[in-house]
Amino acid sequence: MGDIPDNHPRRASLLARQSLVDAAAEGLLADSAMIAHGRGEAFDYLLSETTSDSAIDAIREVAARLLAAEHPVISVNGNTVVLAGEELIRVAAVVGCPIEVNLYYRTPERVSGLLDRLSEQRDVVAAEASPKGWEGDWQEAVDSVVLFGNSAEHSIPGLNGPRAKCCREGIGQADVVLVPLEDGDRCEALVAAGKQVLVVDLNPLSRTSMMATVTIVDEVSRASSKLLSEVVSGDCLPSQWNNAAALNAALGIISDASVDALSGG
């Protein structure tokens, strides 16, 4: 894809794309992962590649629900690990929850490869200074983030085949699951299993967005950075969340962008 100038207005987006191209070459992603990313790029373009006020509200709600949960877990797929793995390890360290590699197109090779990548990312994060405003032993907190995924002896009720599999101690026993970039069927099954499902999805019209308990309509790495700030500050409580209103707000932005585009707005 060539060198990207430091001042390129879409530098972050182009670097993210290159990370995925590299990860695909390493065999870490499913065939359709790049297509899914491209869909996200299109919606992010319509959202001006910025985190909206309503997305910030959703991020605060997700932070509150993770902190209030009895058994929270962060479920990640290939794209999430590549785009936001380090940031979500920081979030897990602050929340004190495990991370589970859980794939729609599950293969043992990709689960292992992604667990290796997460383990490397955890080492990098453990060696850093703690996030601003957080107090405690950062290295210990990060090293305590358990990585699940290899053993998948539990099944999500209502799903069949490899896509049903999950870890009993991870998603299996969780009351609250943060699962960025989830598939619609699985989101629905997790909700039906009585869990709070917190998702990050750039398409406010996707079935995942509409089924989830709380939907953050934002790019996963931007949302994860802001989520880290919110769990560190920790000054929010779960609300009576109106997810349809949040999705409507995102659709309003897309609609306005469409109308403004050719009128020079």
Query: Binding a copy of itself by CB under 8 A: which of 40, 78, 172, 238?
Result: 40
Distance of alpha carbon 109 from alpha carbon 89, whole angstroms: 22
Q: Which of 146, 249 has the CB closer to a copy of itself?
A: 249
Residues 187-206 interacting with a copy of itself (rule: CB under 8 A)? 203-205
Could you write out the DSSP letters of every residue in the chain? -----TT-TTHHHHHHHHHHHHHHHTT-S-TTHHHHHHHHHHHHHHTTTS--HHHHHHHHHHHHHHHH-SSEEEEE-HHHHHHHHHHHHHHHHHHT--EEE--TT--HHHHHHHHHHHHHHHHHHHTSPPPTT--S-HHHHHHT--EE-S---EE-TT--GGGGEE-IIIIIT-SEEE-TT--HHHHHHHHHTT-EEEEE-S-TTSHHHHHSSEEE-S-HHHHHHHHHHHHHH---------HHHHHHHHHHHHHHHHHHHTTT-
Q: Which of 13, 130 has the CB closer to a copy of itself?
A: 13
CB of 31 to a copy of itself, least distance (A): 4
Query: Binding a copy of itself by CB under 8 A: which of 12, 34, 56, 193?
Result: 34
CB 99 within 8 A of CB 171: no
Q: Which of 237, 259 has the CB closer to a copy of itself?
A: 259
105 burial class (0-12, 13-18, 19+ CB within 10 angstroms)? middle
Q: Which of 45, 134 has the CB closer to a copy of itself?
A: 45
Instruction: Establish if 48 lies at the interface with a copy of itself (CB under 8 A).
Output: no
Instruction: Establish if 252 lies at the interface with a copy of itself (CB under 8 A).
Output: yes
Instruction: Establish if 3 lies at the interface with a copy of itself (CB under 8 A).
Output: no
Name the segment binding a copy of itself (CB under 8 A); options: 66-74, 118-126, 141-149, 253-261.
253-261
Q: Which of 126, 251 has the CB closer to a copy of itself?
A: 251
Q: Which of 237, 261 has the CB closer to a copy of itself?
A: 261
Instruction: Establish if 39 lies at the interface with a copy of itself (CB under 8 A).
Output: yes
Q: Which of 95, 48, 65, 97 is nearest to 232 (CA)?
A: 95
Name the segment binding a copy of itself (CB under 8 A); options: 34-42, 47-55, 116-124, 130-138.
34-42
CB of 228 to a copy of itself, least distance (A): 27
Phi, psi for residue 241 in degrees, rounded to 5: -85, 130
Q: Which of 105, 134 has the CB closer to a copy of itself?
A: 105
Instruction: Establish if 248 lies at the interface with a copy of itself (CB under 8 A).
Output: yes
Residues 116-135 interacting with a copy of itself (rule: CB under 8 A)? none
Q: Site residues (CB under 8 A) for a copy of itself?
A: 1, 17, 20-21, 24-25, 31-32, 34-43, 45-46, 203-205, 244, 247-248, 251-252, 254-255, 257-259, 261-262
